[in-house]
Amino acid sequence: MWYEPLNKFLLVRSAELDAETRFPLSPFKLINTRTDFPQLCTGIRTTDCTDKYKFDWITFGDQEQVRSVKEMTEISRFCHSKLNVATMSQLGRDSVLFAYRNKVVITNLEGCEKTKLSVFTFNFNIEYVHCMTDSILAFHPHGVQGRCLSNNTVTQDILDMSKIYRVIGNDRVITLKSHPLYSCEKYDICLLTGHEATPLE
Alpha helices by DSSP H, listed for the chain, are: 63-79
**pLDDT > 70 in the chain, percent:** 83
Q: CA nearest 195: which of 129, 151, 117, 102? A: 129
Give the model confidence (pLDDT) of 2-40 as tens digits.
Answer: 777 778 877 666 777 776 667 778 888 989 887 777 888
- pLDDT at position 66, please? 43
Summary mean pLDDT of the chain: 82
**pTM metric for this prediction:** 0.78
Q: What pLDDT, in 10s, does the model give residues 75-121? A: 445 446 889 999 999 988 889 999 999 999 999 999 999 877 899 99
Measure the CA dihedral 179/185/191/192, to 10°.
10
Structure-derived torsion over alpha carbons of residues 181, 157, 189, 169, reported in degrees to the nearest 10:
-120
- Residue 41: strand pairing partners: 29, 57
**Whole-angstrom distance, CA of residue 157 vs CA of residue 19:** 44
